[in-house]
Amino acid sequence: MKKTEVVVTGVGVVSSLGIGKEAFWDAIISGRSGISKVRSFNTREFRCHYGGEIKNFRPEKFLESKKIKLLGRVSQYAIIASRLALGDAGLGLDKKNAEKTAVIFGTTSGEMFQEYLLEKWFKKNKKAITKSSLLQVPAGNISKNVANSLYITGPNYVIPTACAAGNYAIAYGADLIKNGDVDFVLAGGADYFSKVTFSGFHRLYAMAPKKCCPFDKKRKGMLVGEGAGVLLLESLQSALNRKANIYAKVLGYGLSCDAYHTMIPDKKGIEKAIVKAIKNSGIMPKDIDYICAHGTGTLANDKNECAAIKSIFGEKSKNIPVSSIKSMLGHTMSAASSLEAIACCMAIKNSVIPPTINFRTPDPECDIDCVPNKARKKKIRIALNNSFAFGGNNCCVIFGKV
């Protein structure tokens, strides 16, 4: 029996660097930062005042105004990114293929309507809390709202594995197609700029004051971001039959759980996920041409990720380009790995590697080629996308040129 190959034929982006693949790709290749002063809430009582907020967001450009009031911000991002991915793939959904299309989303915080509800409860009274706002609380609404908006009736899931959830969604979506359960999958991650999330990372002393500087010796932490990234997956044969534009193949993935620490990544767990992804893809370590790093800019993450890369790739590790687009976007939570997956696909398609910006001082513990500050032209056949989450939930996905 011939093995089903899964490909990416459409991508959709909502980010602080712009909405749509063109704005996103142009920004990360130009090394432009989406980091700015926080406006959505008062940061006077915090040490940090910067993040990857999406400014001047106008959902009415993409969604019916009467529906916007019934949708949380995360669902709005997810729906818009999904519509962009379908449009990019040139796929129109009718009743027949809507039944064979899955919607798989990852999220870290869900809709975070708790913030809104608590504010209403304490500043006004419980009667100010509406039924419609209560119905938006469950995280499962994200994929449900995407499906309802696009009239999709196939499998529908939300995967809550935090900052690796976007990659988990892509991996699971690829399995659904390989198993013949569905013909198409909208897979990705979405999260918004939450005061709860901002406060949590601030309390952990994990945030940089102004810039995210992955792999730099003087790095001081991450910055919180927001957005959504969605990939349209289908079989290679389906894409060829439709004469669709193909970005890349989903070669395989690897999962691991550190079972080590809630917040600190473990080198062994990272290694397991990368090694499993390589084996699952049927390739060798030497075949990988580019690594899109998790690269949060925290001391522990960058150090352990680099240590795992050096352990697996040996001497070649110094010659493999390893860049972090979080230097430009901040950490967009579950959207991070799906946006990074899109960066991998577009890097393969365009033969250009995004840079790690804000890099100034080399770190002996991170002595990798982090593509400092400027994009690089390079033919890429195979790219590895790393994602590591709180709780030790790791997922690495490998993409290949068709």
| Residue of 163, 366, 370, 395 marked catalytic | 163
Pairwise CA distance, residues 126 & 134, whole Å: 11
Which run of H or of E encompasses 23?
helix 21-30
* Active-site position among 202, 213, 306, 331: 331
How many whole angstroms separate alpha carbon 5 and alpha carbon 235?
6
Q: Which residues pair with 254 in a beta bridge?
A: 396
Pairing, β 382-385 against β 393-400: antiparallel
Asked if residue 6 lies in contact with residue 174, where contact means CB atoms within 8 angstroms, the answer is yes
- Helix (H) / strand (E) containing 347: helix 334-350
Residue 257 catalytic? no
How far is residue 34 from each of residues 26, 27, 247, 300, measured CA to CA in Å? 12, 9, 25, 24
Query: Which of 212, 213, 294, 344 does the annotation list as catalytic?
Result: 294
On the CB side of 257, CA atoms within 13 Å amount to 6
Whose structure tokens read 């697996």?
312
CB atoms near residue 379 (< 10 Å)? 10
**CA-based nearest residue to 272, from 288, 291, 253:** 253
Quick one: angle between helices 299-313 and 267-281, nearest 10?
50
d(CA 393, CA 111): 21
Distance CA 171, CA 280 (A): 11
Cβ 138 vs Cβ 107: under 8 Å? no
CB 159 within 8 A of CB 175: no
DSSP symbols for 293-331: ----S-HHHHHHHHHHHHHHHGGGGGTSBEE-THHHH-B
Q: Known catalytic residue: 331?
A: yes
CA dihedral 42, 120, 16, 19 (to 10 degrees): -150
Report, as residue numbers or ranges, the catalytic residues: 163, 294, 331
